[in-house]
Amino acid sequence: MNLLRMYDRAFSGITIDEIRRRIAIFEEHSASWETDETLAFILDLAMGQSGYARTPRIPISRRSYPRNTNFIRVRNLKDEPTEKELFIGDMWEAPAKHVKPGRLNVTGEQFLYTTEGQTKAPKLEVGIEEGDPYLLIFYKSIDDIELIDVGWQDETIPEYFGAHAEKAREILDFINTSFRKDDIYIISNIIAKEIHLGGFDGWCYPSVKLDGAINACFNLQAKGKLDFSGAFVARDLGGQQQVITVCVDGNAGLALFSDWTDENSLAKKFYDEIWADYMQTGNLADLKENNKSTDPELLYILKLDI
């Protein structure tokens, strides 16, 4: 189907004034709505009918990351036993029974939350404070990764929206603003899973804790595209990182080293190797626009049962 014609159908019967009126209603009343009401409102605003399918009234874009991209995760250990035994499973997603609601998940729903390319933002995301012990976990992509973009400010409206560009902009600004400021995660869950559908390795979205940082949330089936590079048990004191233990994947499971004073310290050896591996790629945040696409084949998404 011709894209211009498709969007003519998707925006049929809805004016810019009607869009603004609906958004005003949402902003005034949604705090008292049930989840089903919020879901119905967002889908009715963001999806239009085009033939037998519902079509997003906003651009759906993706971000592609090549092999050898760094992704970082932090786990706060302040509420865990001081002599906790660590296993290789601790380096990945939390068990379902420990999963609380998050930006993209409901209670018990497992995803792997990371930050692309840098170590500061993931500490802020989980509330690390001075003196808190934490796990700083390094992953490296071993295959190309495709993530759905969600929550970006000032996103470009592609030309193929034609005469409906202003309406798409109004809806997109509402969607992205709602995603970023959603503290109870109901809205962000709806936006990510009902409008930005699956079929990719996960989602990426801007950090609300550090400007310019990019968070990446992986579906569990995409874990096979990541390699565990190593981890540090550390704490920050006086603005400096103090590494206590270095963790690497050994032949018989997770191997931990803290022999810092030994002449042939394995902790120092693996510490240096993990950082050397990390520095081969570094921070990719400045490649945002280069990694992004709005390929038309992503725009027409068949979802009949809404």
**77 alpha carbon, distance to own chain's centre:** 22
Residues of the chain where predicted confidence (pLDDT) is lower than 70? 1, 50-52, 154, 182, 184, 197-199, 281-306
What's residue 184's pLDDT? 67
pLDDT confidence of residue 284: 44
| Cβ neighbours, 10 Å, residue 28 | 9
Alpha-carbon distances of 176 from 1, 55, 149, 242, rounded to whole Å: 28, 18, 10, 37
**pTM of this structure:** 0.84
- Taking CB atoms within 8 Å and a gap of at least 24, the contacts of 180-188 are 180/151, 180/153, 180/205, 180/206, 180/208, 181/208, 182/103, 184/101, 185/101, 185/102, 185/103, 185/104, 185/105, 186/35, 186/38, 187/38, 187/42, 188/103, 188/104, 188/151
Q: Give residue 80's pLDDT.
A: 87
* Cβ partners under 8 Å of residue 122, min gap 6: 72, 73, 74, 114, 115, 136
Kindly report, residue by residue over 224-243, the tens digit of the pLDDT: 999 999 999 999 999 899 99
pLDDT given for residue 85 in this prediction:
86
pLDDT at 280 (0 to 100) = 82
